[in-house]
Amino acid sequence: MIFESHAHYDDEAFDRDREELLEECRNQGIEYIVNVSSSLKSVRTTLALAEQHPFVYAAVGIHPDEVGELNEETFAWLEQQCGHPKAVAVGEIGLDYYWDKENHEVQKYWFRRQLELAEKCGLPVIIHSREACADTLEEMKKAHSPELRGVIHCFSYAPETAGEYLEMGYYIGVGGVVTFKNAKKLKEVVKMLPLNRILLETDCPYLAPEPNRGKRNSSLNLPYVAAAIAEIKGVETEEVIRVTNENARNLYFQGREL
């Protein structure tokens, strides 16, 4: 059974067939899905989705592109949502210097606040970092503590950077990009990663793997990701699925009764 560690099924891309697709995912061996929010609105829609589907859980947090929505009032509301019974992580949070929608210092401030929130609430973090390698790593090192755990989502940096996150105890999220022919750096990262530190993810509706690259992504494509990882690691695909499922359970469900 596959654990989908990062999806966005509340996205409008799924408006026409969301219920049917989630049912198909369940029937095709997707055991759990963590739906990840990025804005105040998507915190609400993500929690609603988790309430409707027993196998869907929620990550609540504000993406760096959307931190302009945050102030003390909205942050207090976000903290309340972390207490929802289906909330299993704070995310996705971090830094994004690619789209550059928000001032870098503003991004860093709310990144720190959300890291503190996760530690306070005893929840893991889902980290988004795009073209912000040095600053993200610096903030993560400053915030590092035995209580703070999580995953570096959609990892896109060098093996050396992955090694630094491993030393701090973080998991690395691997999705459809690993199937791309030109993804040499990510393949190198996967090669050096211990299997017990990898999470399977799609980031759907984005980043569909080969052979469906360019199409709307869904958790149904995760076997392609698992197969690509298996080939790189020299193990069976079923072993990748089994271990990554166990990894995600350890991260998201630690000490939680399902």
Q: List the 171-174 sheet strands across, edge first.
A: 2-7, 30-36, 56-59, 87-96, 125-130, 150-152, 171-174, 198-200
The one-letter amino acid code at 157 reads: Y
List, in order, residues 6 or more apart from 30 with CB less than 8 Å away: 1, 2, 4, 55, 219, 220, 222
pLDDT at residue 254, rounded to an integer: 85
Provide Rg for the chain, Cα atoms.
17
Neighbours of 200 (CB within 10 A): 25
Question: Domain ranges in the chain?
Answer: 2-252
* CATH class of the 2-252 domain in this structure: alpha beta
pTM above 0.85?
A: yes
Closest by CA position to 96, among listed 38, 144, 148? 38
pLDDT in tens, 92-144: 999 999 998 899 999 999 999 999 999 999 999 999 999 999 999 999 999 99
Q: What is the pLDDT of residue 257?
A: 67
- Nearest in space to 134 (alpha carbons), one of 168, 160, 170, 102: 160
pLDDT at 160: 98
Residue-level pLDDT at 255: 67
| Regions of the chain short of the pLDDT cut 70 | 255, 257-258
